Every structure is written in structure tokens, then in C-alpha cells.
Amino acid sequence: MSALSAHRFRLTAIFAIALILAVGSAWVNMVLKKNAGDEKSRVAHGTPDYYMDNFRHFTLKLTGDADYELTGKKMTHYPDNDTYLINFPVVESRDEKQRLQISYSDWAYIEDENSKIHMHENVVVIRPPTRDRDAFRMTTDYLLVLPDEDIMRTDREVTAYQGTSTMTGMGMESNNATRELFLLSRTKVVYPPANRKK
């Protein structure tokens, strides 16, 4: 095989691999969208009895202090299974004793008397920096928020950033009250290189 033929063969192989990756990526994206649509259909069961646009909902502690705030573009209630479907929800902690935490996604549904918030698609969790902690940001495609317990968990892939460090893993559980976060499997942590004196 001549050098020119070998070069053409390598280029053809590279293009074929790139094409396979592009088609595979499009297929995965299509499957994820279909699954999200199926999940929405399962949640949005029956005929809604009311909806609210641009709503704000506060949950209070027994002391009367605000616990967390839930806002969204639209909230629809389904009486058949007593669930709420929310477009573009934002969940923000309001407990001044805990670290501020903001979570948002494309859509969510609430069940079990507002004790479980299932956030779906483009989920982002943010904790602003404090005097002793760097800013924290986490992304995933599904997150279960348990506001009464100040706990979040997922069985999906997560990517988290704290300062200049990056963490990835499959499955996560976080407790904002104790400031603990656990990645459950396939964990990878990347720290920036330490500055070395010359």
C-alpha cells in the first residue's frame, strides 16, 4: 500500500468514526427526549382542574420562618393523582442558618403533599461562594429534591464544579444541612495542578 493510499484509508476511517459518533449522539438525544415526553405523559395524568402562571410558593417552618421558595412559569394541578406539573421551576432555600442553594430545570412534578420535587432536563444546582467555601455548581438530567429533609439525590450522571475542581460520577446524594455530598459510583475528581515555585 502506497503512502497516499494509507493516508486516504486513515482519512476515510476518521470520517467513518466521526459519522458513527454523530449518528449515535443524535439517537441518544432522540431517546432522551422521548423518555422525557413519556415521563411527562405519565405524570400529567387525566384532566387538570386548575393552573397558575408565574407563581410563587413559600414553605414555612413551625417558627413561621421561610424554609424554601418555589417559583415557575406555570403550575398545573392534576387531581387524578394529586400531582403538580411545573414549567421552568426554581427551588431556592430560605433558611438563613443553611447555605443558600438554588436549583432549576426545564420542568418538574411534585407529589406526596409537596414533599417530593422531581426535576427533569437541564437540571442545575448552584451554591454561591461563602467565606470558607468556593462556589458550587452541579448539572444532571434528573434530580429528586426532598425540601423537608434538605436532601437531593439522583441515579443519573452528574458533573459538579467547586472552585477549579471538577467531579463526575453516576448517582449522587447531597445534604445541604450537613454540607455533605456523595457520588455513588464511577467517580472521577480532577484537581488543578498545584502552583510550583521555580
- Per residue in 42-85, pLDDT (tens digit) is 666 678 889 999 999 887 666 666 678 899 999 999 988 889 99
Report which of 32, 28, 29 is spatially closest to residue 40, judged by C-alpha positions: 32
Q: What is the helix (H) or strand (E) element at residue 99, kind and residue range?
A: none
Q: Tell me what pLDDT residue 177 has.
A: 77
Q: Tell me what pLDDT residue 87 has.
A: 95
Judgement on whether residues 171 and 129 belong to the same structural domain of the protein: yes
Judgement on whether residues 68 and 34 belong to the same structural domain of the protein: no
Judgement on whether residues 63 and 111 belong to the same structural domain of the protein: yes
Q: Tell me what pLDDT residue 145 has.
A: 92
Q: Tell me what pLDDT residue 182 has.
A: 87
Share the mean pLDDT of the chain. 80
Judgement on whether residues 88 and 179 belong to the same structural domain of the protein: yes
Q: What is the helix (H) or strand (E) element at residue 5, kind and residue range?
A: helix 3-43
Judgement on whether residues 94 and 39 belong to the same structural domain of the protein: no
Q: Tell me what pLDDT residue 107 has.
A: 96
Domain region containing 3: 1-43
The model's pTM is 0.73
HSE at residue 90, side-chain half, CA atoms within 13 A, is 10
Count how many domains the chain has. 2
Q: Tell me what pLDDT residue 18 has.
A: 57
**Helix, coil or strand: residue 194:** coil
Q: Return d(Cα 144, Cα 157) in angstroms, integer.
A: 13
Instruction: Identify the segments of the chain with pLDDT beneath 70.
Output: 1-45, 60-66, 194-198
Provide the CATH number for the domain around residue 133. Answer: 2.60.450.10
Q: Tell me what pLDDT residue 44 has.
A: 64
Residue 22 falls within a domain, yes or no? yes
Judgement on whether residues 54 and 36 belong to the same structural domain of the protein: no
